[in-house]
Amino acid sequence: MAIIPWSAPSGGRVAVSPEPNAAPPRNGLLVLVVGPSGAGKDSVIGYCRDRLAASGRVVFPRRVITREESGETEDHATVSEDDFHRMVSEGAFALHWRAHGLGYGIPASIADDLAAGRSVVVNVSRSVIDEARRRFPPVLVASVTAPVEVLADRLARRGRESPERIQFRLERRGIYTVEGDDVLVLNNAGPIERSGDALIDALNRGGA
């Protein structure tokens, strides 16, 4: 498995005190893209990244995963299990979780982007939504959905897992409910432009 080496960042920052009476900076918007396997989360993120990344107002950090890189839609960084555990202990992740036997992490650098007023779009597990809401407000939860038959077809065409594993994923899709005033539901059964443009519009209205 190809391993991307990781080391703790070097150097430090000099804290600058704000001017008296200066308005506190507004945090950027953290966009949590969630949904069941096969819903097309990475496709929606890729659509938005192609149209927004050049502006510098929206960032799309790479996830760190203990899975070998492939030719699929997600561009992620691969680390070993040992390195993943070390990174967790050293505070390298803003958010991290485990699913399907793999470790996933979102780089801690998103805190700097948010503090600078940039919007950050990340693909995360529904299990970390509450933690993200508590630690990185304001948050927008983009819940990507599709009918079960669409999910099944996409997972089968992906060719990564056995029929039994696909069935397990389909049955697992309802474990976490996504509710709240900060939730945007994106039905991604149709053209990618429909859900992608809806998320871009939400980003624009959120100050991105």
Tokens 């200066």: give the residue: 22
- Residues with pLDDT less than 70, the chain: 1-26, 69-74, 154, 158-162, 164, 166-176, 207-208
Q: Contact 129/31 with Cβ under 8 angstroms? A: no
Q: Is 143 annotated as a binding residue?
A: no
Radius of gyration of the chain (CA): 18
Question: What is the distance between the alpha carbons of residues 118 and 140, in angstroms, rounded to a whole number?
Answer: 13
pLDDT at residue number 151: 75
Pairing of strands 139-145, 119-123: unpaired
Q: Contact 161/152 with Cβ under 8 angstroms? A: no
59: left (phi over 0), alpha (psi -120 to 50) or beta: beta
Query: What domains appear along the chain, each with residue ranges and CATH number?
Result: 30-203 (3.40.50.300)
Q: Is 39 annotated as a binding residue?
A: yes
Q: Is 40 annotated as a binding residue?
A: yes
Q: What are the phi and psi torsion angles at 22 (to 5°)?
A: -70, 140
Q: Is 46 annotated as a binding residue?
A: no
Q: Is 36 annotated as a binding residue?
A: yes
Q: What angle do CA 98, 102, 125 make, to 5 degrees?
A: 40
Q: What is the DSSP letter of 3?
A: -
Q: Encoding tokens for residue 172?
A: 């697992």
Q: Contact 26/74 with Cβ under 8 angstroms? A: no
Residues 6 or more apart whose Cβ sits within 8 Å of residue 154: 38, 40, 146
**Sign of the alpha-carbon dihedral angle for 122, 124, 127, 128:** negative
pLDDT at residue number 153: 74
Q: Is 92 annotated as a binding residue?
A: no
